[in-house]
Structure 1
């Protein structure tokens, strides 16, 4: 029986344990943060393959050095997906439709930012999004040049007083009334999707972020073929085998907003019947090819 190392012990870990065990894969938790570790003592457990490389690069380097195992999603996969601007640039070069975006490498002046916004021919409002955060952290909307300038001042102030690592951010077009989808792609094939919807009360209160961690509901949907092909083309272009692809649909436009190489596994009723078959086959393939 293959032993799979999973560095999260939350929803994904619990939801995959029994289905993968039934397919000959023993899922074990490999702690990759918040530990004190005697590096001279060999690991007491063994794994054949890792699921997704740890999210913290330094701890991940330690774990990878102690466990010489292949990963379904490698360190490069995780770093590629985390760089939202890099993903947008790569997909745009490949003629895959994406949100119109301006990347801002700090520090920058108001004048250069506004000039870039003008060249991009944006209409207000625009969305300001930190380049490397997840779960909707730090995303804000600017309704005019003054409010955009104020948001930039705030970001610069935070950066001055806090060691945040990547301090760059994106300014992106706002798509009104967009439908927000997360497609799950396993080894090149869409195996299920959810639409993230805000409750009516939240919309009435002016909420607009569709992140589940911000109160949105993830509802299982059958994606149209055009949406599936788009999500699969993203995974192929990035070369990532286990990937969440976020799509926005507004009017006649369908675009990629970002990707996630550490997507949470949702309730299995929201995926195709062969989801865990395909996931198990991918794990076995990675182990076999190592």
Structure 2
């Protein structure tokens, strides 16, 4: 590859970003890093920098969505694409993309008014889960066990925040066997981890213990189908396993984080991501 060809956009230079920079440089790439707070981009087709590929690592969904869209108009190839970021960063749009491609997932619905949402939860039955359409790390995710809890949660959802926050995403509660599964898809499935916790929310950010698991072919194919549905090239697909062994897709993450898990899984994600980017640009 030519030198000075890869650009990495970041919010904070975390462990993940430093490892990715090292992995890219180890493959002979020069990497220019750009803090998303410093980027002011004109809304035109004028090429940006040298036109090289962009690895989008902004922690802000809003910044990542807009920056990737602008850079693609300017001719850059962005990993992941603006479409993929916009879809994965919105849980409702992710669910719609999965539904469009017949990917198995928990039932879910979207509502815009408190009484209507409570009535739908009453009809479908408890427990169920409510979560924001945008957000990560298990924040503001709540289990709803009865009508009183439903009324309280929906009241908070529709009375707090701005008008754009007044959207309720409600999902089937899956009684997991003490863990969920994450499959890393870098072009194709490359490995995975099991996140084990006594709490029903199994995010590592919420204290779940990561451990490696050998991804069966059926899980790998399901994760690849899910990634294809959202147009993701380098994503993490979260799977839920029911007590009877069925596997459902829960969410898809467009900015793969691995600092908390890489020492447990042993999967060389930075090298795999760097290798995929280099091969994709040839």
Q: TM-score, normalised by structure 1?
A: 0.80
2:150 matched to 1:154? no
Q: Residues 232-280 of structure 1: CA distance to partner in whole angstroms, max 9, x if unpaired?
A: 111122221111100011222210011111111342762556x556433
State the SS of the aligned residue for 2:160. helix
Q: After the TM superposition, list the runs of 4 or more consecutive aligned residues in structure 1 that deviate by more than 4 angstroms.
A: 36-39, 42-47, 65-68, 275-278
Shift of 1:19: 2.5
2:147 matched to 1:145? yes
Distance 2:75 2:36 in 1: 14
| Residue number among 100, 104, 107 corresponding to 1:100 in the alignment | 107
Q: Give structure 2 stretches of 5+ with no counterpart.
A: none
Structure 1 residue aligned with 2:281:
287
Distance 2:48 2:81 in 1: 23
Q: Residues 98-147 of structure 1: CA distance to partner in whole angstroms, max 9, x if unpaired?
A: 0111212x3x131x22332355x33x221111111111111111110111
Distance 1:230 1:78 in 2: 20
Structure 2 residue aligned with 1:195:
194
Would the aligned equivalents of 1:194 and 1:270 in 2 still touch at CA under 8 Å? Answer: yes
Distance 2:135 2:165 in 1: 9
Equivalent pairs, count: 268
2:19 matched to 1:26? no
Would the aligned equivalents of 1:191 and 1:271 in 2 still touch at CA under 8 Å? Answer: no
Structure 1 residue aligned with 2:175:
176
Would the aligned equivalents of 1:48 and 1:287 in 2 still touch at CA under 8 Å? Answer: no
State the SS of the aligned residue for 1:170. strand
Would the aligned equivalents of 1:70 and 1:286 in 2 still touch at CA under 8 Å? Answer: no
2:71 matched to 1:64? yes
Would the aligned equivalents of 1:192 and 1:271 in 2 still touch at CA under 8 Å? Answer: no
Shift of 1:70: 1.6
Cα 1:94/1:74, change in 2 over 3 Å: closer
Q: TM-score, normalised by structure 2?
A: 0.82
Would the aligned equivalents of 2:176 and 2:200 in 1 still touch at CA under 8 Å? Answer: no
Distance 2:266 2:47 in 1: 35
Distance 1:129 1:271 in 2: 31
State the SS of the aligned residue for 1:5. strand
Structure 1 residue aligned with 2:17:
13
Would the aligned equivalents of 1:247 and 1:254 in 2 still touch at CA under 8 Å? Answer: yes
Structure 1 residue aligned with 2:265:
270
Cα 1:219/1:157, change in 2 over 3 Å: same
Distance 1:66 1:115 in 2: 44
Q: Residues 158-182 of structure 1: CA distance to partner in whole angstroms, max 9, x if unpaired?
A: 12xxx47443231111112343111
State the SS of the aligned residue for 2:238. strand
Distance 2:72 2:174 in 1: 44
- Larger relative contact order (Cα-Cα within 8 Å, sequence gap ≥ 6): 1
Shift of 1:6: 2.0
